Structure 1
Amino acid sequence: LFFQQAEKELKDPDTYAALNALFVAGLHHFYLGQWVRGAINLFIFVAGMVFLFAGHVAVGIGLLIAISLVELKALFAAQIVVQDYNNAVMERIYRAVIKD
């Protein structure tokens, strides 16, 4: 039962890293179910693009650089971030299986 449930819920670190590298708009946070952080990243990214194309180039570039620098850390720590997530998932499943 534990392994069946874990197989459904565990996440792949390579998918997380690919989502982060291809599109720095917070998709990797949505992948791990971190909806608030993903929404904040997406908002900052979209705001940067709007400012960029609305003629406020410096503000737009500043926002895009800022979000890229913050997410660069997540890209390099993808294995650790996803392993921590997977460990928490397995612990939750294990505790639920033991209760039953």
Structure 2
Amino acid sequence: MRKVLLTLIAAAGAVSFAGTADAKWYKKEVDERGAKCYLVEYVPSTYKYNTRGKLVQHESTSWEGDIVDGNHIYHRRNPAVYVTTKKLVEQDHYTLVPC
């Protein structure tokens, strides 16, 4: 099946190249002053966020519960606490994209 398909594609390509070449005329508007067309595009600021920016509290462990017969006592891990910081990577600006 694949060979038949490839043969048909090759035959269609050969027929399309076998035609006579016709010159085509067209009209194009040219600006003699050399003006160029641009689209204006706004690019917003880009920031890099650091979730471990400023340390507020170190990591610690704690014991919770009452030391009495039959009660439960829990040993817990308290993760560190940070304040997220952001750093400007690229300032917002406009850019011109050719048409």
Name the TM tier (shorter chain): under 0.3
Determine which structure has more spread, i.e. the larger CA radius of gyration.
Answer: 2
Q: TM-score, normalised by structure 2?
A: 0.23
